[in-house]
Structure 1
Amino acid sequence: MGIRTEVTPHDKGKARFFLTVMTVIGLRGIPDVMGGIETHCAQLLPLVLNNASPAELKIILLARKGYVDARGDVEGVEQIPIWAPRHPAAETIVHTFFALLYARFVLRSDLVHLHAIGPGLLAPLARLLGFKLLFTHHGADYRRQKWGPFSRFMLRKGEDMAVRFAHRVITVSPSTANRLKDRFPTCADRIVHIPNGFSREAPSEVTRDFAEKHGIRPGSYVITIGRLVPEKAQDLLIEAFQASRLPLKDPPWKLLIAGDADHANDYARSLRKKAAQDDNIILLGKVPRKTVLALNASSGLFVLPSYHEGLSIAALEALHSGVQVLLSDIDANLNIGLPQENYFQSGSVEKLTEKLNSDLVDRDRGPDVDLSRFDWDEIARATLREIEEAVGGAPPPRVVTSSASHGSKG
């Protein structure tokens, strides 16, 4: 275990802390690894370290081999790849199991920070191994279309286990925090909402070579960003785009889809087939983060048609770039607080087509919205306070397994 000596607070408003080794588990890796949780950790973890001296906190991220192949340092965060099978149903849970054992018997960590409800299934094991446990809930993954009944059941159990056994629970969405507090009232005082943030990095311009290669012009394309999975609803956007007037403009607008699939699947193959049949639809595949920011800033419209999100970093970064945006009206997107005209009915090709044909597309600037609460620096400070609570706070109440729907009982 780490040294348990209290550290005197430093100047500059840094938090009071204990010397702690924290192991982060539940994501593929950082940086430039595709995924919302991966972007969240790539932005957040170095800033958390900036608010705690090396004598106070060490962060080790256990990544998955295949996404990260070499041990290294990412802005102070030590990253170690651990083997995981490349199978969509087994990858996460198997990696989490081996990562917990590695954290206990090799790293001898004090605190584990689990991300997402799939890894949450092994929260009881983390506690059994003696870890203090911090858990971040990034979204109700059991709502994703790709999962069958058994997988959805297990993901719900992962949510249950993580909330019951964690010392502290963070949710990126306020609606999720409220739902969990209602569902687990005896755990409510350990659940806190801390949002995702957006990068304040000034976007570069799309290079001339890139623009010429894909035949795009600034302000004359729609962009969507996300992995090629059914819950991202790129197929719905393709159908609405083709039915709209945008491809008939002079010059015709393009639809850019940035992102790829983690594993080969029928949905991704169907999107590639549709793109191959339409010159105005461009599948970019995995795109470097700097290129994504540049494409956002030069687009005519950013669209997020998802059926499921936690709190979309891509949407926040599009808003920060000042472009016009259009989001599905799911709770996670409504939590951002945009004007109603910037939302469309989730799952409706007709309503999305109407929005694509509206004067929304012709406006020079996106909606005027206060993004101050999505500041990564403040998010890092709030996360550091939760780390301190998890390390030094009281343990969760004793879990009563017969209470299947209301969490733990003191």
Structure 2
Amino acid sequence: MTKLTVIGLRGIPDVMGGIETHCAQLLPHILANVAPGELKITLLARQAYVDARKEVNGVEQIPIWAPRHPSAETIVHTLIALLYARFVLRTDLVHLHAIGPGLLAPMARLLGLRLLFTHHGADYRRQKWGPFSRFMLRRGESLAVRFSHRVITVSPSTAKRLQARFPKKADRIVHIPNGFSSEEPSEAIPDLLAKHALNAGSYVISVGRLVPEKAHDLLIKAFQASRLPLKEPPWKLVIVGDSDHASDYARSLSDRAERDENIILVGKVPRKTVLALNAESGLFVLPSYHEGLSIAALEALHSGVPVLLSDIDANLNIGLPQRNYFPVGSTEKLTEKLDADLSDYTQSLNVDLSHFDWQEIARTTLAEIELLAGGAPLRRIVAPHAEQQSKA
């Protein structure tokens, strides 16, 4: 049996964050492709977010201690998790996520581990980091690419940038995108709409953690400056998400919401509820300064509602028409977009979402795992129709 240990995220299934959502969707799909007993996946989560050892959709999840400090949490947890993977789990392979944990890629190699790395975005571009943290995150990106056996990027523009920057490693770098959830939305949505006095089709929704790079403050300003709150009934702005740690930024958003009854901070809710809120909204907006490849945006597109995204590379990679984008950081341009005919942003765009299917993403990722394990293919689960054809 091949043992794969996943490190670099807080935990699954309903832990907030893009990497967490990515793994919650991807890992069970990978296991669904291989025969029982072929592959064991263990996720080393952070104890503050996952309180008990348990199995989640076939993935064994073990909480490991980490300090509750924004600057120390990731690196300390990654260090402990790598030692635990090597000496307790005696794992064969490690799948490391994000450039912060990437700082310890050389250590993983020194421990004799085979290393797969997924680059989820240039985190050093986030506003919350100071000069030293930005420098360290850039080092994490560099070390992860140089010391990993295989590198996955969720964004094609990131793959091209890394291949150009590390030409000797270019053949190890592949692009495999994020996907969108095909779960059924929650049926309890009417109660939530009533609780916040929301009218279906008459609210703007944004989904993401309450951190500066998500630009919720910009969206609030643009929404308040637009004509949407003046409509009858007044439109509202719904922000779904929370902060990992107490911050001045999160408190400032809360203060603004308290002063304006048309701004609703829903907080963290289950994924099925997010999908339902998307489907009932009148417009989804993602104003971020930084993304890897936004799962929240893909899920909004899948729901069929109008969508507006900032024009950063990761959002442009989704491939929407130009009218669905606005200049990043521009309150004025976003306000103009909110005051335009929102039906122009609907997904009558014939956008091909087939390459964002988790099943296909899982198969492609599994091929990378097999390369890491020496190239020998793991026994696959034979689909019923394929089995019948082979007997015919």
TM-score w.r.t. length of structure 2: 0.94
Structure 2 match to 1:333: 315
Tell me, what secondary structure is at the counterpart of 1:192?
Answer: strand
Q: Distance in 1 between matches of 2:93 and 2:209?
A: 30
Q: 5+ residue gaps in structure 1? A: 1-18, 395-410
Runs of 4+ aligned structure 1 residues displaced above 6 Å come to: none
**Letter of the aligned partner of 2:89 in structure 1?**
L
**Residue 75 of structure 1 is aligned with which of 25, 38, 57?**
57
Structure 2 match to 1:324: 306
Shift of 1:20: 1.1
Q: How big is each residue's C-alpha offset from its partner over 1:100-155, in whole Å with a ceiling of 9 and x where there is no partner?
A: 00001100000000000000000000000010000000000000000000000000
Shift of 1:208: 2.5
**Letter of the aligned partner of 1:249 in structure 2?**
K
Shift of 1:358: 0.4
Aligned residues: 376
Structure 2 match to 1:147: 129
**Residue 238 of structure 1 is aligned with which of 220, 235, 256?**
220
Provide closer, same or farther for how the CA distance between residues 186 and 116 of structure 1 changes in structure 2, counting only shifts above 3 A: same
Q: How big is each residue's C-alpha offset from its partner over 1:346-389, in whole Å with a ceiling of 9 and x where there is no partner?
A: 00000000000001257765533110010100000000000011
Q: Distance in 2 between matches of 1:364 and 1:210?
A: 24
Shift of 1:206: 5.2
Q: Distance in 1 between matches of 2:338 and 2:260?
A: 18
> CA contact under 8 A between 1:324 and 1:366: conserved in structure 2?
no
Shift of 1:237: 0.1
Shift of 1:301: 0.2
Q: Distance in 1 between matches of 2:84 and 2:129?
A: 29
Provide closer, same or farther for how the CA distance between residues 61 and 281 of structure 1 changes in structure 2, counting only shifts above 3 A: same
Provide closer, same or farther for how the CA distance between residues 159 and 363 of structure 1 changes in structure 2, counting only shifts above 3 A: closer
2:206 is the counterpart of 1:221: no
Q: Distance in 2 between matches of 1:38 and 1:208?
A: 27
Q: Distance in 2 between matches of 1:393 and 1:147?
A: 39
**Residue 119 of structure 1 is aligned with which of 101, 111, 115?**
101
Q: Distance in 1 between matches of 2:79 and 2:162?
A: 25
Q: How big is each residue's C-alpha offset from its partner over 1:263-316, in whole Å with a ceiling of 9 and x where there is no partner?
A: 001100100011010000000111111110000000000000000000000000
Shift of 1:207: 2.7
**Residue 366 of structure 2 is aligned with which of 384, 390, 397?**
384
Tell me, what secondary structure is at the counterpart of 1:63?
Answer: strand
Q: 5+ residue gaps in structure 2? A: 377-392
C-alpha RMSD over aligned residues: 1.3
> CA contact under 8 A between 2:284 and 2:305: conserved in structure 1?
yes
**Letter of the aligned partner of 1:138 in structure 2?**
H
Shift of 1:211: 1.1
**Letter of the aligned partner of 1:152 in structure 2?**
R
Structure 2 match to 1:355: 337
Q: Distance in 2 between matches of 1:289 and 1:156?
A: 31
Q: Distance in 1 between matches of 2:366 and 2:54?
A: 23
Q: Distance in 1 between matches of 2:98 and 2:345?
A: 37
Q: Distance in 2 between matches of 1:206 and 1:252?
A: 23
Structure 1 match to 2:161: 179
